Copies of this chain bind each other. A is one copy, B any other.
Amino acid sequence: MDIVVQKYGGSSLADIPKIKYVSDKIKKHVSEGKKLVVIVSAMGKTTDQLELLCRKVSECPVPREKDMLFTTGEQVSAALMAMALNNIGVKALSQNAFQAEIITSSDHTRANIRKINSEKLKVNLKNYDVVIVTGFQGITESGDVTTLGRGGSDTSAVAIAAALGAPCEIYSDYPGIFTTDPKLFPTAKILKQVSYDEMLEMAQLGAGVLHPRAVEIAKKYNVKLCCRGTFSDDNGSCIVSDYIEQPVVTGLSVMENQTQVTITGLPEDHIVVNGIFNYLGVKQFNIDMISAVRMSDNNMTLSFTIVENDNDILEVIQDLQKEFCGCNITSKQHFVKVSVVGLGMRTEKGVASRFFKALSEIPIELITTSEIKISALIHKNYKDRAIQLLAQEFDL
């Protein structure tokens, strides 16, 4: 069987005309002799609407019940898609997580996929041309419903593709992966090829097209992964292990709503630093852009960013000050992180220098680098200008 896994996001399924459009698209693939596993997200803003209902009931809802609630969204999409396909003569069957036997850990609202019954999927693909699977969700060994966290439908799709040894196509409103956000920089180009590593850096930097966990699984199981536009006939972008013609910088990404936290007068003591990071980890903060410098008085200055999060950082800072009372802790909000990513940086020298030269007119608060990435933290007022300057410099 020539099996292809396709995932359609919520905005591609936002209403019935779109569902019908996608079903026509799927029919074309079927008529080419392919068997399709189609992973669907919840229609349009369904998940947001369910989130709203949920908040009205409880400020701190039981995670297990949140998962029970949210997973209905994808089941609605899957059932409607199966109806739409059967309506145009395509033999299609919907499967929820119970039926597809997508077994996950029991970490409600952020579960990890452990096992997928690929044999059952293959049996269904013998009887049907298209099997539609609810994305974003799984069940535990004991039959509780779980979700993989938001954006988890990408993860579902790539994991199912890995289990089937099939290629995976992710369809969204974007016709592919852009060098940078085309909403911010309209002349942004589509990348025909991106490496897993570049994509990982870009996904984690908020590039928005692919969920980083999906890219990690694709890399691990060597899944042939492409990103295409639902409403476009272009080939889109393919994520590959490596490619020959490497531009120095492949993409530019922007992560908004950053808060910078700076702690000065910290004793040079790993236990204290670990204590701070542990504390923030328990509070579910994702710490990013860590920079630590020893000052002339032998004390440390530690600076890092976190995502702005309903202002509870102020409470956290008060707690930190209580715990580590010798220190002076300040936080500054409304920053953005701009980053350039490219496999070529591994070999090409002088990228950092070109990066800083391009941004010379903009005050930079914090800098971090990896093998294939340079990131700078700047105030949000400079965001558009920075994107313009970097896109010009690196021809993005």
Q: Report A's interface with B, CB cutoff 8 A.
A: 16, 19-20, 50, 53-54, 56-62, 64-66, 68-69, 71-73, 75-76, 78-80, 82-84, 86-87, 93-94, 96, 98-99, 143-145
Contact = CB atoms under 8 A, between A and B. Distances in A.
The winner among A57, A76, A86, A145 for most chain B CB atoms within 10 A is A57
Contacts of A50: 76
Contact of A72 (B76, B83, B86, B93): B76
A68 B78 contact: yes
B82 A68 contact: yes
Contacts of A143: 98-99
- Give the dominant DSSP class at A's interface: helix
A143 B99 CA distance: 6
A78 B61 CA distance: 13
B98 A57 contact: no
B86 A80 contact: no
Q: Count copies of this chain in the complex.
A: 2
B87 A57 contact: yes
Given A72-B76, A76-B50, A83 B98 contact: no
A80 B54 contact: yes
28 contacts: A19-B57, A20-B57, A57-B84, A57-B87, A58-B83, A58-B87, A61-B86, A61-B87, A65-B79, A65-B80, A65-B82, A65-B83, A66-B79, A68-B75, A68-B79, A68-B82, A68-B94, A68-B96, A69-B75, A69-B76, A69-B79, A69-B80, A72-B72, A72-B75, A75-B75, A96-B145, A98-B98, A98-B143
Given A65-B94, A143-B99, A57 B83 contact: yes
A12 B349 CA distance: 68
Given A68-B75, A72-B79, 14 more contacts: A19-B57, A53-B80, A54-B83, A57-B80, A57-B83, A57-B87, A58-B83, A59-B87, A62-B83, A65-B83, A68-B82, A71-B75, A72-B76, A75-B75
